[in-house]
Structure 1
Amino acid sequence: MADQTNNGARLAIGVAALPFLATVSVLMVIAAGGANASSTSSICGGGGTAQTIGNVQLDAEQLGNARTIVSVAAGRHLPSFAAVVAVATSYTEIKLRNQLTQTDHDSEGLFQQRISIYTKQVADDPVKATNAFLDRLLTVPNWQHNTIGVDAQTVQISKYPDRYQPTAPLARQIVGQFWPAAAAAAGPAPSGIPAAGAGGTATATPAIGSDPAICAGGGGAIPVGGGTVAGEIVGPTGHNVSGTTTIPAGFVISGSAKGHLAVRYALAQLGKPYLFAAAGPNAFDCSGLTMAAWAAAGVALPHLAAGQASSGTAGSTNLSQAVGGDLVMIPGSDGTAANPGHVGMVAGYVDKPDGRHLYLIQAPMAGVPVELTEATEWSGQITGVRRIG
């Protein structure tokens, strides 16, 4: 819990007033095992962890290189499409490996760039090679409106121009995993940077739904529900730190464009550890997570649950009108209705045969990682809901 002291005070158990589970170890079993949670999602793991994306098994080296490409593109404040083109190109050329020996003329490195043109120093360095690729991509006329295959071929000038486009779906999924955290780390674009085009870079936030989705709970992209509100929600009750670090299949993010960005950032932190007073990038407490998520969407919040309780505008505490990005407050173990000690954020919903299940994302307490928790687990405890943007 974000705003408790370091002595490990716990959240109160849910609305049913069940007997408090006395030890942290029991809580961890429920949070980590009872909801199929894991410290790192097999679907949405971080770079450097082998995993299957789509139907493609990628090892630690490949995912680490992919994360480098995405980080470089985000650091230049380019739209996510630039990273998709670059990842698709590298995967097509050399399966996202930084090969330092020549197998085709004098081509080397992550993009198989010819050292007679790029130099060995550039081609063999993943960061320099990515920057060199992006420099050329930005000179391609209408590059943001071309197909990925056309852009890649224009930069690479390959004998086999049709190879690139088939890798586009995989590239979108890969970039979708790493983009939110990379863009948040890059921060806002400096003023005066021109819009993307021939020879330029881009600062504009992509339209809602236009950038690649983060995850694929059961395969495929996370859809965006626009302004859809939660409506009547159903789900379990009884334990407000029960959760999962895997985004469920059929997950939908609703709400505003800024709320969507905040949720995407938060989802990229699933599985990261709780640490009192931390606000990322490697650990979070509850208000640190919500503060960092909304900072990624360009909105400043205080690092304190009680302070966030007066941010934005008030919403319904029954969550019937909740949308992605809304902050949800409960007293926790050391707070009150007026001074809440814990905060989570509405992430999205899943429609199941029994009705709509709404999920909150939270950094619960020491020993329990950032997770998704069904909103009904907080029933009867919610003292405030704040619509931020």
Structure 2
Amino acid sequence: MSDQGGGAKLAIGVAVLPIIAMSAVLMVMAGGGANASPNSSACAGGGTAQTIGTVNLDAEQMANAQTIVSVTAGRHLPAFAAVVAEATAYTESTLHNSPTQSDHDSEGLFQQRVSVYTEAVAMDPVKATGAFLDRLVKVSNWQTNTVGVDAQTVQISKHPERYQPNAVLAQQLVGQFWSAGVAAAGPAPAGSPSRGSASTASTPATGSGPAICAGGGGAIPGGDLAGKIVGPHSNNVAGTTTIPAGLVISGSAKGYLAVKFALQQLGKPYVFGAAGPNAFDCSGLTMAAWAAAGVALPHLAAGQTANGAAEPTDLSQAVGGDLVMIPGSDGTAANPGHVGMVAGYVDEKDGRHLFIIQAPMTGVPVELTEATEWSGEITNVRHIA
């Protein structure tokens, strides 16, 4: 929107976004590993030895990774639970189901203590994953903690710093197998006790909502760089109210919650000054989305430029939940009148399609617009949390 009520300015003939490397914070290739063909609708692939990012994994490791995802999806837990489990298993055993006892009597994928878990559990990948998840869902605030905090709370390791660096790989593995795991699990039974604390609202139903291939855990530094952002140009109010198949939400736990809220508003009308629940203007949408994640923002696009941390306007560090400002129809570079929020991306054969969710203008509902439509106009990008 324009905070003055005029809506986003229609931009014709704007410059193409520069070829940039997109940050892979919580990045998951929508089409699988580095050797897989893009398949954004399923986020699937795997089955044999693969190179995931820069890590070579053999067939056993890939099979164990898929087992962890399948067990998690079978319990109708959020994908973030699988990310924590994958990162933990890779840290503890590099995803090899090792019978060799180390660190006292630890065995298996998660190096679980036989004296605590029993050997029958520790050495069975399905049971070991289940035992890990049983403890994970009892961790206070586990869905908003970082991967490293959750893993350490369950494992009580002497080296807690080792888990978080493996979270990017874990995200990529979950992205490889998550959609297939959810499809195999089917709908969650009503009142299912296996969902764990507060997981019901975080679990997308099969065939609806975004393909949360990236889970939505804590912010993760590092990772592989993705390809250039591609897409259409010349109409910054063009968009869709349908979530693209294979949409990956990257970013922090709070960013994930903000994006999830915003996606639930798709199709609702633009009304100047509105901040929900039935209509929104541009800053009203971003304000309400971040409020859902526990972060307060002012109801003004220009005012929101003072929040969070500045990021490059070429979107090279943009992740889910980041605010993107343009002048709009009656703002300026110094005092932008329109704001949207990075929602996520889809990797296709031609490159990365990055989407911004926005409440554009009167007559145009809340929609997803490809970031390339805002090429040459972006004045501010803010990472909120």
Relative distance call for 1:222 and 1:167 in structure 2 (3 A) is closer
1:211 to 202, 216, 222: 202
Question: 2:249 and 2:307 mapped to 1: Cα distance?
Answer: 21
Q: TM-score, normalised by structure 2?
A: 0.50
Q: Which residue of 2 aligns with 1:4?
A: 4
Question: 1:216 and 1:271 mapped to 2: Cα distance?
Answer: 19
1:169 aligns with 2:216: no
Superposition pairs of residues 150-229 of structure 1, within 5 angstroms: 169-171=186-188, 211-213=202-204, 216=207, 221-224=211-214, 227=220
Superposition pairs of residues 1-389 of structure 1, within 5 angstroms: 1-5=1-5, 9-14=6-11, 16=13, 145=134, 169-171=186-188, 211-213=202-204, 216=207, 221-224=211-214, 227=220, 232-389=228-385
CA contact (8 A) 1:216 1:247 kept: no
Unaligned runs of 5+ in 1: 19-80, 86-141, 147-165, 176-195
CA deviation digits over 1:317-342, x for unaligned, max 9? Answer: 00111000000000001100111000
What is the percentage of aligned positions where both structures have the same residue?
A: 65
The SS at the match of 1:343 is strand
CA-atom RMSD in angstroms: 3.7
Relative distance call for 1:374 and 1:241 in structure 2 (3 A) is same
Question: 1:230 and 1:212 mapped to 2: Cα distance?
Answer: 26
Aligned residues: 218
CA contact (8 A) 1:234 1:354 kept: yes
RCO higher in structure (CA 8 A, sep ≥6): 2
Q: TM-score, normalised by structure 1?
A: 0.50
Question: 1:305 and 1:2 mapped to 2: Cα distance?
Answer: 8
Runs of 4+ in 1 over 6 A off after TM superposition: none
Distance apart, 1:222 and its partner CA? 2.4
Relative distance call for 1:360 and 1:220 in structure 2 (3 A) is closer
CA contact (8 A) 1:222 1:253 kept: yes
Q: Which residue of 1 aligns with 2:62?
A: none
CA contact (8 A) 1:273 1:282 kept: yes
Relative distance call for 1:170 and 1:282 in structure 2 (3 A) is same
The SS at the match of 2:187 is helix
The SS at the match of 1:329 is strand
CA deviation digits over 1:138-166, x for unaligned, max 9? Answer: xxxx9x949xxxxxxxxxxxxxxxxxxx9
Question: 2:382 and 2:205 mapped to 1: Cα distance?
Answer: 25
